[in-house]
Amino acid sequence: MKENKGDTIISISVGTMIKAFLVFILFYVLYLLSDLVLVLLTSIVVASSVEPATKWFVKRRIPRIPAVLIVYILFLGAFAGSFFLFLPPLLQDFSHFFASLPQYLSFLGQWNPWNDVFNYQTILNNLISQFSPSPASGGNIAQTVSGVFNSVLNFILVLVLSFYFAVQERGIENFLKIIVPPKNEKYIIDLWYRSQAKIGKWMQGQLLLGVMVGVLVYLGLLILQVPQAFMLAMIAALFELIPVFGPTISAIPAVMIGFTVSAPLGFMTIALYVIIQQFENHLIYPIVVRKVVGVPPILVIIALLIGTKLGGFMGLILSVPFAAALMEFVNDLEKRKIEKIAQN
């Protein structure tokens, strides 16, 4: 058959097909071992997050292994102390909140023009029926026990693996050298260290921001005598991790509770959150995060949504580090593109 000059001949070699097949097998294996991969990546992030504190102790002539042990003991001690200190009042507030939930839903229903179609009480009853155990839910109980066991096991694995990475001065770098092709080794290690610095600064800023906003909300709600003040302050502190929308979302339950007590209290609660938000935007945020090379808010939101959807709690932990690494990688691509344009 005679070939036309405009015809395009596509030739795929056997080597290319084998490489494509091996890549497919690799991704399939990673999918099968997704839980283990998440544990491994989370361990790397945890080990990286304790590195600044470890270096602080090492600079004071404390050997690396005792330094890492001290950091882990301080972290676990602070976690356990916070757990036993804050859990009882938090559970008490949640208990009062759920006990008063029908009252809150009734109040919301008065302001709902689509109450016949979108009824809050009906939605709550459906949720309760879905999560409540039935007499024939032995399988669900077994799944719950299995899920709790897996979570505890994963937590222990993260602690052990992160400790192993942390006690070695170049533990993460050595691990990256094993899994990264030699030609990309130098760049990937440099990318990771730059991303690690960005992640550390971002997390420090967000944690300080959350604590300060949580304390302000708690004191303000106590002065106004809004019920469940401690629970609402914890919600405000946690939602500071979500840029832009987090503070607004955290204000909704507080305002709802305030209005169920009285209209003046509801309006004062709105005023309190507006004042704290303005105080945060114009004073706290510039002071706390002024030296932080920020991750764009929209990128953080998208990363949190994707990470939670794909990997649950561990995906949530990994979402911002991966977003920071992706941002660094995109910046490198832009620099290379500008350099090529300048050379031409």
**Sheet strands (E) in 102-171:** none
**Residue among 162, 191, 203 at smallest CA distance from 316:** 203
* Mean model confidence pLDDT for the chain: 76
Q: Say yes or no: 197 and 330 in one domain.
A: yes
Domain that holds residue 73: 33-122+146-179
Q: How confident is the model at residue 269 (pLDDT cuts 50, 70, 90)?
A: very high
Q: Say yes or no: 46 and 100 in one domain.
A: yes
Q: How confident is the model at residue 170 (pLDDT cuts 50, 70, 90)?
A: confident
Report the pLDDT value the prediction gives residue 208, as an integer from 0 to 100.
81
pTM: 0.67
Between residues 76 and 1, the one the model is more confident about: 76
Tokens of 242: 């979500």
CA distances from 4 to 1, 9, 10, 11, 12 (A): 10, 11, 14, 17, 20
Rounded CA separation 24/169 (Å): 34
Q: How confident is the model at residue 127 (pLDDT cuts 50, 70, 90)?
A: low
Q: Say yes or no: 253 and 309 in one domain.
A: yes
Number of Cβ within a 10 Å radius of residue 212:
19
Q: Is residue 141 part of a domain?
A: no
Report the pLDDT value the prediction gives residue 137, as an integer from 0 to 100.
47
Residue 112 DSSP class: -
Rounded CA separation 20/238 (Å): 43
Tokens of 269: 């609660």
**How far apart are the two ends of the chain, measured CA to CA in Å?**
44
Whether the CB-CB separation of 58 and 333 falls below 8 Å is answered with no
Q: How confident is the model at residue 15 (pLDDT cuts 50, 70, 90)?
A: low
Query: Burial level of 180, CB count in 10 A (0-12/13-18/19+)?
Result: middle
Q: Is residue 28 part of a domain?
A: no
Q: Is the pLDDT of residue 255 over 70?
A: yes
DSSP H or E run through 264: helix 263-279
Lowest-pLDDT choice from 6-10, 71-75, 190-194, 330-334 = 6-10
Last residue of a domain, one of 164, 179, 194: 179
Q: How confident is the model at residue 221 (pLDDT cuts 50, 70, 90)?
A: very high
Between residues 328 and 74, the one the model is more confident about: 74
Rounded CA separation 72/237 (Å): 24
Domains: count for the chain: 2
Q: Is the pLDDT of residue 193 over 60?
A: yes
Q: Say yes or no: 225 and 157 in one domain.
A: no
Q: Is the pLDDT of residue 47 over 60?
A: yes
Rounded CA separation 21/13 (Å): 13
Query: Burial level of 133, CB count in 10 A (0-12/13-18/19+)?
Result: exposed
Q: Say yes or no: 163 and 192 in one domain.
A: no
**Residue 59: CB partners within 8 Å, gap ≥ 6?**
none
Q: Say yes or no: 210 and 175 in one domain.
A: no
**Residue 220: CB partners within 8 Å, gap ≥ 6?**
272, 276
Q: Is residue 5 part of a domain?
A: no
